[in-house]
Structure 1
Amino acid sequence: MFPSLANLLSFIALGAAILLIVRGSLAGQVRVFAFQSFVLALLAAAVAAFAGSVELFGVALVLMTIKGVVIPRVLHRAVTNIGLHRAAAPYLSPPAALTVCGGLVVAAFYVMGPVAASNPLPTAGAIPLAFAGVLVGFFVTVNRRRALTQILGFLMLENGIFLLALLCTYGVPFIVEMGVFLDVLVAVLILEVFTYRIKENFDSIDVGEMETLRG
């Protein structure tokens, strides 16, 4: 029962990362990230219940609070302040990007399949899904043109890394996780200000257009 639940929630988290590619609305993309974070918090709580880890329950609660509520609110505020509601066209079209994601998922299963087979934990079967989430998050980051959507890609990448650590080792110590979450929150706040300043000074947050500033 528990391994099936871990596989299901990991699959949903990966699906959310892929869904970010086809969502054109910035607000919709933020909601996808919040949804993925809630799924990860639910999985962390399930692992905590299975392993009897009070610390992991705390991690799940903080994850839900920071990544499921606080950071999405910050990003929604950034979308409102910048005044953009549609994501710029990525470097690759959605069909091409989905094809790349499919290849990344296949590669993740090929690379991490032996690792999952040798891991005795009941969550091991979902390890390739988590690694695929890391690869897809990285791809989303580099495939986006606007700074704000690149931030979302980075957050998806970080979620994938958290999921991978959770499935492989039942997470890292509570104090380390708290440090990571706070670092991510601070980074998002800084990037929000940075993105707003880019928009204010250059009237665009399209990183492709900034290449014209090169001497």
Structure 2
Amino acid sequence: MAGCFITFEGGEGAGKSTQIGRLKTRLEQLGQPVLVTREPGGSPHAEEVRAFILGGHAKHLGPFAEALLFAAARIDHLDKTIIPALRSGTHVLCDRFADSTRAYQGSVSNLDKGLIDQLETVTLRGVKPDLTFILDLPAETGLARAGARQAGKGEGADRFEKEDLSFHQSLRQAYLSIARAEPRRCVVINADQASEEVETAIWAALRERLPQMVQAAVRPLDVA
């Protein structure tokens, strides 16, 4: 793949969307081509699955069924959005990816790890992020932020935001466990600080891990 694939993970209210937007701006200022996408969603059919899951319509089916739905959406997302962008040389910044399934359905909902591994193998077909930022903060802080955001937009909590505090505390530990298991890919960022400080930490990590992304894009000379 010519483009770099970067994912952002973390609990509710961690500020993923904000930081993705800021990183996109920085990279575009360097002339780097960037695509922002999200999961579940990111392609027309995957967005339909997103609405079904986050609307709570699959909760009664159990975590395995939810994991299957996420996988189906991810396959479409990869085929229609992520892989074509990467092949064209565009960097992809994705709000959540396969680690969310590992954290939400695998660790917190206690699905068998082997089952999650098999599902991931079939779904991803070898495509993995070059770098994953895990935005970490206390669950209480994240839920408070998410609640304030919903109130400001006049929205209600989604399927996972409605879960109790212990669910979100376990989710935080699941993400930290993923980071410990894959330190080459994952960078834990302290999200319990001002958004400008989070942005600076992300940029510093990107400069270290993927220096080619923070260089000004080289454009071909105009031919007279």
Higher helix share: 1
TM-score normalised by structure 2 residue count: 0.34
* Bigger share in strand: 2
Give the TM-score of the pair, scaled to structure 1: 0.35
